Amino acid sequence: METRFHYDLSDKQLRFHVRQRANTEQKLGFKATALLDPSNGTVGPYRAAVKQYVTLGSGTELKDSATKPFRLGMGLALASSSSTPGAKPAATRGSAAAAAAGSVAASAVPLVTVSAEKKVALLDGPNTVLTLRAVVDADLAARRLSSRRGLVKVSRTIPSFTKRQDLKLSAGLTVDWAPGTRREPRPSLFLQARENNWAVTYREGHAIVTYDL
């Protein structure tokens, strides 16, 4: 299990973000995430999903390139009700920060989830990458879409930024289409600076500092 310190600068609370992942040779993937608040012993937004992944187009990856085949995933998820429309369940790195982390754990909501991801190397070598990612969730009980989210970012890795650490800088936009409305997508600035363990992320109006244990 992966654990990291999670400090939200808006409410100045230290929490623990935990994540468990497993994959099979048949491209079946399991991922579970949760935000734990040690101050009151509650579990904030949590989510567990099982997906079958397929790659479309060329299945081979160029040597020394960050370009990856288009990856499509479909499966079932179980998420806390506090992670549904208003709080945006964690689908991408750092997105748990956008949720109301101080809420008490709520009942689980079953979802059908579909995701898509594509990575393209913008320059020679693996250090500059364009990432396109989208996730759509549908509430099984309510028979309606519960969330539609997307991320577009460009990342630049600076090898050996310090004696023992690389530095990865990312900038882009997150997009949230509110289900059941005809409003235009709402873009939000995404910024991140990450070295091997530390990261500072600005996403959907929240600034978060994390440290991987």
pLDDT at site 98? 40
pLDDT at site 39? 82
Chain mean pLDDT for the chain: 83
CATH class of residue range 2-212:
mainly beta
Whether 194 shows a pLDDT value over 90: the answer reads yes
pLDDT tens-digit series, residues 35-59: 998 888 888 889 999 999 999 876 4
pLDDT tens-digit series, residues 175-189: 988 766 666 777 899
Mean pLDDT of 13-31: 93
pLDDT at site 82? 58
Q: What is the DSSP letter of 205?
A: T
Spell 9-33 as b/e; 16+ CB within 10 A means b: eeeeeebebbbeeeeeeeeebebbb
Q: Which of 23 and 97 is assigned the larger pLDDT?
A: 23
How many DSSP H helices and E strands does the chain contain? 0, 12
Domain spans of the chain? 2-212
**DSSP secondary structure of 104-136:** PP--EEEEEEEEEEEEEESSSSSSEEEEEEEEE
